[in-house]
Structure 1
């Protein structure tokens, strides 16, 4: 039976109201699949159920994750036992959540068990099915992880796979077989995560011409804070271009106030470009310098401490922002501004908004859509990104 050189197919027993045998395979691409029988695997390999281990974790009952040394020993032990073509019997049962648990379910999905990658792998050993008759009776109910009480023999033989959506499978084998399974599964989890991290990002990015074109927006030929010519740094969430000297102060404000990025050195996802294209220095300063005295604005040759004090008053203390309307809540004004696609108004409201305002709904219990939902609905990438930043999403 072809697998990618990791763990051979085994006959397992799945508890779904009653015990039923399942045929389980662990693949080298990070998939754990199971089928009703070994024959089903051969005849209909794509009809099995699947767990992607890159979005899962494995835990031993009542124990922390095995150390690397333990995993290495267990893997060697598994490889040795695999070559002897030994017969194993494993029990698999789904986790049955309490009503208060979230995300419970069978977790069944379409398997890729019959993929071409698997077929090209080296053949694995053939295992003879073994019944569970004669095994000791399992105790009724499900033991939850971390539950109090004395450990049982069954605890010593169990491990659990938990997926990112909190679906669980519990396996029971002999203790030495359990360690081999856990080691093999952990190895596949690690490989799956490494593969995901090594893949090039598919995130859409703007080209160089689009980034340089930001300098053509009104006011972007000079620094938004000190009027230095040819600024080559940006504050993403403020939608402005700034000089390198002012960018240092912006960085010191923290990314919750100003997210600094270089026009020349950094990559530019399209959503960042959308925000910058929708605002610009002139529009931003109409907002952030609305009540600012003109004689206080620093010049390119002003001392650094003068520029820093100005920037902190402008963005951190928010001393110069216009007042908000008092005849409506900030949340309801934000909803209206998003619907109207008014980026300037959204920027002003987000500068004053609390987390509750950002998560306000359209109309109480009747329409539970938030500004974030509305931005998605109307397709405004700039407003959507501003809202995401305001909620702490990087």
Structure 2
């Protein structure tokens, strides 16, 4: 059907009428006119697989996907040549619960709807169907400054946004619901194909969707760790926090030394990563990283990108809100050892966040201790903060040789990518490092030994 689309050019932000088609393979294609669609020309496509959809002024979806058992009616929604054709007419909510494959493209009617905006007169009248209302003028101000945006929806990816407007609120909801359904289908296809591929090649087991959903049940994870947008769907692995898509795109600018971003819905999740995210969560993470915000006000879900970025950089780069470290410098390493013994994640994260320990301090025994306890979360945090997975202790042992439980798999992945160091390594009894006897000197590996090939490793272990 016909929708208005806002120009993305910084110079030309006018709204133009487009003929938009939603395909059943997870693509949305818009054409300048119906004639261009029929000739399959001048079409631009949006891959819905890695997008989400928003409604301006709403912090939560205005409509929800319904199961086919709830509604079985279909009004004005047909399938032709692999495309879902949606007419510009009012529909019953729940329209996309069932897709009917019927006759080829028929007559499409666009009612004369009273627009709240003024549209730019750039649409060719010959392209309008059944004498639709001619577009009117609209100001070039940023969208959302007036009260006429209730029929608008936005398709959002990590680096781009597409603004569309329907003639009526009901028609807008129809499009939103249909697009959400196609996004869901695309994600389900990804999950099925990944599972089949892993089974075929004997790849690592990935957590099922139910396990991943348990991450959202951790205290504080129902809202973005920064702007408190509800239902965040992205994660920062090394921070152990859930964030919304808008904040996730800014996290990528920080660099992986500060934040490692992964989608809950689009990326693979080994059980080890699920365990890490469940061990930390937004409440614990923010009790450390936002312990001292003073008079600063956190950004809201509708905050500008510049406001979000300033908050995120102040939080992680400048560490302006970080909880103070009240431990004397001479006791920091011993305190970290004690915290590892007690699985005290608050103290571990706080000490690592202040970066008061050198890599040599960490490598001398701490990684061996975490590996010997089989604590995946602590082991992975130490690796992310610069610990050497191939460090040698005073007895000539590597962390892998001390590892227990799921830590073995993480370290084995590193070892398999650097077999020169470990061709003769074998599992031995875990090292025993007590809080009272923890100053074990570190022996460096031979100078000729290659370093860990981090460029070849998955983000799970680096």
Give TM-score scaled by structure 2 length. 0.39
Higher RCO (CA < 8 A, seq sep 6+) = 1
Structure label with greater radius of gyration: 1
